[in-house]
Structure 1
Amino acid sequence: MTTTSQQELFRFLEDRFACAQACTECARACALRASLVEPDGSEKQELVRRKAIMCAEVCDATCRVLSEQNQVDEGAIRTQLEWCRTVCLEGAHVFDDHPGAEDTAKACRECAQACTDFLATLR
């Protein structure tokens, strides 16, 4: 293995780990946000709760895909990362409009960026 290919492998693994870690943090933040939303019946509150649950589930699934090593092909990983990135960005947008959800919005954006960074190593 050449030094260049070793460096590419290290970057790939580092980005994969960073993405999985960001997904885990985002899933935690979104699960917490979902549990804090008061079920007052308002449409906005329900949207925040649903988006938080969806984001947590997608991030959790993405983390599982990333931890499966060689059992998932690159195309499936790419699709999962793109889905995760999209859901996280949508979640961040919803959380931006919800007072007290700034940390959750930030976690979503960081996760979306980690997915983007990791996708770059797959190209």
Structure 2
Amino acid sequence: MTTPTSQQQLYRFLEDRFTCAQACTECARACAVRASLVDPDGTEHQERVRRLGIMCAEACDATCRVLGEENQQDEEGIRARVEWCRSVCLECARAFDEHPGAESAAATCRACAEACAHFLELLG
């Protein structure tokens, strides 16, 4: 029989997992859009921003897929994936900070990184 505490922990785990996956989806969209707006023939900085946007979109998409799987998963593997996503989002946010007009995408990246951090805290 499930105790109320363990049931509450399970609900919190699932809620945080869903929040993280949802933030990853939003970040992937924002980064893909932002990357498509950057001129690929622009400066070296613009190319770096575009590449980071694409990488962040891919990291978030892959993380969302992992979090959405219902089969038994290795907790350490989930932790590594979410930590990787968090770090890529922060790096991308910093790059977007230096690119005029990318403030919204930078904020979305930071929100995703925060959701990832909360989920990692729950994993312990």
TM-score range, shorter chain: over 0.9
Partner of 2:87: 86
Distance 1:39 1:50 in 2: 9
Partner of 1:43: 44
Distance 1:103 1:77 in 2: 27
Give, as a single letter, the amino acid of the residue that structure 1 aligns with 2:115.
A
Identity of aligned residues (%): 70
Q: CA deviation at 1:68?
A: 1.1
Give, as a single letter, the amino acid of the residue that structure 2 aligns with 1:112.
A
Three-state SS of the structure 2 residue aligned to 1:98 is coil
| Matched residues, number | 123
Q: How does 1:1-123 map to 2 (within 5 A)?
A: 1-123=2-124
Give, as a single letter, the amino acid of the residue that structure 2 aligns with 1:51.
L
Give the TM-score, by structure 1 length: 0.97
Three-state SS of the structure 2 residue aligned to 1:46 is helix
Q: CA deviation at 1:112?
A: 0.3
Distance 1:41 1:113 in 2: 31
Q: CA deviation at 1:40?
A: 3.1
Distance 2:13 2:71 in 1: 14
